[in-house]
Structure 1
Amino acid sequence: MRCLAVLTVRNEGAFLLEWLAHHRACGFTDFLVFSNDCQDGTDRMLDRLEEMGELTHVRNDGPYDQGGIQFTAYKTADQMDIVQQADWIATLDVDEFVNIHAGDHTVPALLAALPEADAITLTWRLFGCGGVAQYVDAPVTQVFTRAAPAVMYWPWRSAMFKTLYRNDGTYGKLGVHRPRSPDPARVGQARWFDGEGRELDDKFRTQRIFSNYGRSNYALVQLNHYPLGAMESYVLKADRGRAVHSDHMLGVDYWVERNFVQEEDRSIAALAPQMSERLAAYKADTQLGALHDASVAWRKTRFDALMLQEPFRALFGRLLMTPPTRAVPLNEARFLVRYATRAREAGEQGEG
Structure 2
Amino acid sequence: MPSLFSRKPITKLAFRPPAPEPGRDGVALVLIVRNEERHIAEWASFHRAAGATHVFVYDNGCTDTTLPCLREVLGDCLTVLPWNQRLADASTGREIHNQVLAYAHAMRNFGGAFRWMACIDADEFLVPKRTESIGAALSHLGDIPSVTLPWHNFGRNAHRVPPEGGVIANYTRRAADPMSGARGVTNFKTVVDATRVSAVRVHSVDIDGKAVTWNDRGERSDLKGRSARRFYSAEHLQLNHYYTRSEAELAAKIARGSNQRVAAERHAARVRRNVANIEAAEIEDRAAIDFLARLETTDSARL
Shorter-chain TM-score range: 0.7 to 0.9
SS of residue in 2 equivalent to 1:56: strand
2: CA distance, partners of 1:3 / 1:22:
14
What is the root-mean-square deviation of aligned Cα atoms in Å? Answer: 2.9
Corresponding position of 1:59: 82
Aligned match for 1:247, one of 256, 262, 286: 262
1: CA distance, partners of 2:180 / 2:96:
31
Aligned match for 1:14, one of 29, 38, 47: 38
2: CA distance, partners of 1:135 / 1:36:
24
Aligned length: 262
2: CA distance, partners of 1:26 / 1:60:
26
Aligned match for 2:162, one of 121, 125, 135: 135
Corresponding position of 2:151: 124
1:161-183, Cα deviation, whole Å (9 max, x unpaired)? 11111233x21354311224x43
One-letter code of the match for 1:73? A
Over the matched positions of the two proteins, sequence identity in percent amounts to 24
2: CA distance, partners of 1:255 / 1:142:
24
Instruction: From the two aligned structures, give the one with the greater strand fraction.
Output: 2
Corresponding position of 1:228: 244
Corresponding position of 1:193: 214
One-letter code of the match for 1:235? A
Corresponding position of 1:172: 198
Structure 1: stretches of 5+ with no match in the other structure: 277-352
2: CA distance, partners of 1:116 / 1:84:
14
Q: Which has the larger radius of gyration?
A: 1
Q: Shift in Å at residue 88 of structure 1?
A: 1.0
Kept in 1, the 8 Å contact 2:103–2:119? The answer is no
Q: Shift in Å at residue 223 of structure 1?
A: 0.7
Structure 2: stretches of 5+ with no match in the other structure: 1-24, 89-94, 297-303
Instruction: From the two aligned structures, give the one with the greater helix fraction.
Output: 1
Kept in 1, the 8 Å contact 2:178–2:186? The answer is no
Q: Does 1:211 align with 2:240?
A: no
The 10-residue stretch of structure 1 (214-223 or 139-148) with the greater mean CA deviation from structure 2: 214-223
Please give the TM-score of this superposition, normalised by the length of structure 2.
0.75
Q: Shift in Å at residue 26 of structure 1?
A: 1.6
Q: Shift in Å at residue 60 of structure 1?
A: 0.9
Q: Does 1:71 align with 2:86?
A: no
Corresponding position of 1:326: none
2: CA distance, partners of 1:30 / 1:78:
13
Please give the TM-score of this superposition, normalised by the length of structure 1.
0.66
Corresponding position of 2:292: 272
Q: 1:215 to 1:61 in 2, by over 3 A?
A: closer
1:96-153, Cα deviation, whole Å (9 max, x unpaired)? 1112213x24223222333352221111111111221112343211111001114643
Paired residues for 1:241-320 under 5 Å: 241-243=257-259, 245=260, 247-249=262-264, 250-258=267-275, 259-260=278-279, 262-273=282-293
Q: 1:71 to 1:193 in 2, by over 3 A?
A: closer
Q: Shift in Å at residue 216 of structure 1?
A: 5.0
Q: Does 1:100 align with 2:123?
A: no
SS of residue in 2 equivalent to 1:13: coil
Kept in 2, the 8 Å contact 1:6–1:90? The answer is yes
Kept in 2, the 8 Å contact 1:68–1:246? The answer is no
Kept in 1, the 8 Å contact 2:174–2:282? The answer is yes
